[in-house]
Structure 1
Amino acid sequence: MKKVVSILSILLIISNFVMAVEPPKNAEIKIKTSAICSMCKKRIERDLGVSKGIVNSNLDLNDKVVTITYNTKKTNPEKIKQVISKIGYDADEVVADQKSHDALPDCCQKTAASHKD
């Protein structure tokens, strides 16, 4: 009988620890970019997809706004904007990293004329 009570006590303690773990909290942010074409879209979404804490991203080329769902425990809006800058694009008030921007294809640079894919 003592063994049964001991086992039940241990299970109760373990279940309390499991319940104490909070699920990740996701948030959404919209960031204006300097993206121009579908190559920009693929590049931004791909690179954000492998960034820590990013759950999902979708760039709308009509308004050049990327909508990002992210885990608030792993990243924040400032870090996300820095990631976009390091890819070579503006992210709201954060200007594109010049070296990364210069490495983009000519059609993806800020000075490129708007074009359809």
Structure 2
Amino acid sequence: MKKIVAVLVTILAISFGSNAQSVAKTEVVKFKTSAKCGMCKARIEGDMGKTKGVQKVKLDLSDKTVSIVYNPKKTNPSALKASISKIGYDADEVIANQKSHDALPDCCQKDAAAHLD
């Protein structure tokens, strides 16, 4: 009976230990963007949500700030800024990729007048 209890305790300890190791630490980063409208929000949140290491994305249009929860073992802030640039938007000091920016709808481009949804 003592051996069975010892085996069960060992199995539980191993399973809890492996679960603790599989929980990745996350970090949060915020960038200013050139996003303007709901279409920009949907595009940034959708595309960035598919980026390796990204767990959550939220764009606040009132202050044009994107918040990203990510796994630092899989990506970093520089790579995230580059990803936003590839979508066609500025990310802090990283300027939007010109070709991607030009492919955005006219209302989402930087030279367009700001508008409300």
* Both proteins in one fold, TM over 0.5: yes
Stretches of structure 1 lacking an aligned partner (at least 5 in a row): none
Give 1:115's aligned amino acid. Answer: H
Q: Distance in 2 between matches of 1:21 and 1:27?
A: 17
Question: Identity over the aligned pairs, expressed in percent?
Answer: 57
Give 1:42's aligned amino acid. Answer: A
Give 2:69's aligned amino acid. Answer: T
Q: Alpha-carbon deviation of 1:15?
A: 2.3
| TM-score (norm. length: structure 2) | 0.84
After superposition, the CA RMSD in angstroms is 2.3
Per-residue Cα deviation, 1:25-56 (whole angstroms, up to 9, x for no partner): 10001100000111000000000111101110
After the TM superposition, which segments of 4 or more aligned residues of structure 1 sit over 6 Å from their partners? none
Q: Distance in 1 between matches of 2:46 and 2:19?
A: 34
Q: Alpha-carbon deviation of 1:21?
A: 3.0
Aligned residues: 112
Stretches of structure 2 lacking an aligned partner (at least 5 in a row): none
Residue 18 of structure 2 is aligned to residue 15 of structure 1:
no
| TM-score (norm. length: structure 1) | 0.84
